Amino acid sequence: MLELRNVDTYYGNIQALDGVSLTVGEGEIICLIGANGAGKSTTLMSISGIVPPRNGEIRFEGVDITHLDPDRIFAMGIAQVPEGRRIFPYLTVQENLDMGALLRKDGDGVRADLDYIFDLFPILKERRRQPGGTLSGGEQQMLAISRALMARPRLLLLDEPSLGLAPLLVQTIFEVIGQINRENETTIFLVEQNANMALKVAGRGYVMETGRITLADTTEKLLENENVRRAYLGV
Ligand code: ATP
């Protein structure tokens, strides 16, 4: 579904990605783990067109999207949930969700997806008339994920969805990630510092260090890997 081939991405003179190659197959949950500053967010922003690569190629369903604008890439079915849950604080929960569905013309589908989201996160239904900014951190993360889902993406890019959440909420968010993938036929590319949770929900994973992919394997194998255990799982 998605393929990155030898992607180099820069911020001015600073090289953030160095020859990154990876694949995401339809229906998979793939995780990308790595330390602070390794280049995980940059990988997502290169895919979504926010920080386009300088070299290399990114293909989505066979189409070269390397140099397309972010709005074109979004319209093709790739939605990103950025780090830090950037919702619209002054819009209500309902209005935030409506923004996600802005490009859609299938009213029945939008209503069905709204019902689905309110089933996933009943708290959002309760709070649907409240401004997004009045929600707790965990609720804002639920809203950020839900807003992306309202676009009915085929590929969902999640940037550190568990960051700053209480352990119980982290659990909920990861359960929902699995559920969205199974029930909603949404392929998921997940960036996480919480390697333990990410490796449990994903089927395959990549490890990134200073802009390069250093390991790629099934999550089962990565969970057994001594280096991964020492560096990212703290065991
Ligand atoms: P984190 O978990 O902290 O978000 P990350 O793995 O997602 O880390 P990136 O945010 O992709 O890492 O950063 C990769 C590198 O690019 C780092 O060295 C970072 O300092 C640099 N970088 C990121 N954003 C910018 C920017 N806007 N301008 C200059 N350098 C940047």
Cα of 50 from ligand 1 centre, angstroms: 13
Mean pLDDT of the chain: 93
Give the whole-angstrom CA distance, residue 159 versus residue 40. 8
Ligand 1, residue 44: give the atom nearest the CA. Answer: 11
* Judgement on whether residues 140 and 179 belong to the same structural domain of the protein: no
Give the whole-angstrom CA distance, residue 90 versus residue 81. 18
Higher pLDDT, residue 165 or 132: 132
Cα of 91 from ligand 1 centre, angstroms: 29
Residue 83 forms part of a structural domain: no
Q: Are 35 and 209 in contact (CB under 8 A)?
A: yes
Write the residue with the smallest CA distance to atom 3 of ligand 1.
36
Write the residue with the smallest CA distance to atom 29 of ligand 1.
11
* Judgement on whether residues 12 and 120 belong to the same structural domain of the protein: no
pLDDT tens column, 70-89: 999 999 999 999 887 789 99
* Judgement on whether residues 107 and 223 belong to the same structural domain of the protein: no
Cα of 47 from ligand 1 centre, angstroms: 15
Residue 45 forms part of a structural domain: yes
* Judgement on whether residues 72 and 163 belong to the same structural domain of the protein: yes
Give the whole-angstrom CA distance, residue 206 versus residue 192. 11
The pLDDT-based confidence of 45 (bands split at 50, 70, 90) is very high
Region 3-19: what's the mean pLDDT? 97
Taking 90 as the threshold, does the pLDDT of residue 166 lie above it?
Answer: no
* Judgement on whether residues 134 and 114 belong to the same structural domain of the protein: yes
CATH assignment of the domain containing 190: 3.40.50.300
Write the residue with the smallest CA distance to atom 2 of ligand 1.
36
pLDDT value for 50: 95
Write the residue with the smallest CA distance to atom 14 of ligand 1.
39
pLDDT tens column, 189-226: 999 988 999 999 999 999 999 999 999 999 999 999 99
Cα of 130 from ligand 1 centre, angstroms: 33
* Judgement on whether residues 157 and 140 belong to the same structural domain of the protein: no
Residue 78, Cα to own-chain centre: how many angstroms?
A: 10
Ligand 1 shell residues, CB under 6 Å: 11, 14, 16, 34, 36-42, 83, 193
pLDDT value for 234: 78
Residue 84 forms part of a structural domain: no
Of the residues 131, 147, 163, the one at which a domain ends = 147
* Judgement on whether residues 8 and 71 belong to the same structural domain of the protein: yes
Q: Are 88 and 131 in contact (CB under 8 A)?
A: no
pLDDT tens column, 29-39: 999 999 989 99
The CB-based long-range contact list for 122-125 (8 Å cut-off, 24+ gap) reads 124/93, 124/97
* Judgement on whether residues 25 and 119 belong to the same structural domain of the protein: no
Region 138-160: what's the mean pLDDT? 93
The pLDDT-based confidence of 167 (bands split at 50, 70, 90) is confident
Of the residues 101, 124, 147, the one at which a domain ends = 147
Where in the sequence is the domain holding 200, given as residue range(s)?
A: 2-77+153-232
Reported pTM: 0.93
Lowest mean pLDDT among 11-15, 131-135, 229-233: 229-233
Cα of 209 from ligand 1 centre, angstroms: 12
Residue 69 forms part of a structural domain: yes
Residue appearing with tokens 């001594």: 226
Angle value at C-alpha 160, between 86 and 123, nearest 5 degrees: 60
Write the residue with the smallest CA distance to atom 27 of ligand 1.
11
pLDDT tens column, 103-147: 888 989 999 999 999 998 999 999 999 999 999 988 999 999 999
pLDDT value for 168: 85
* Judgement on whether residues 132 and 102 belong to the same structural domain of the protein: yes
Ligand 1, residue 211: give the atom nearest the CA. Answer: 14
The pLDDT-based confidence of 164 (bands split at 50, 70, 90) is confident
Write the residue with the smallest CA distance to atom 25 of ligand 1.
11
Region 175-193: what's the mean pLDDT? 92
Q: In what order do the strands lie in the sheet with 187-192?
A: 78-81, 155-159, 187-192, 29-34, 204-209, 212-218
* Judgement on whether residues 159 and 139 belong to the same structural domain of the protein: no
The residues, any chain, with a CB within 8 Å of residue 235's CB and separated by 6 or more, are: 229
- The total number of structural domains in the chain stands at 2
Cα distances (Å, whole numbers) of residue 95 to 138, 142, 147 = 18, 14, 9
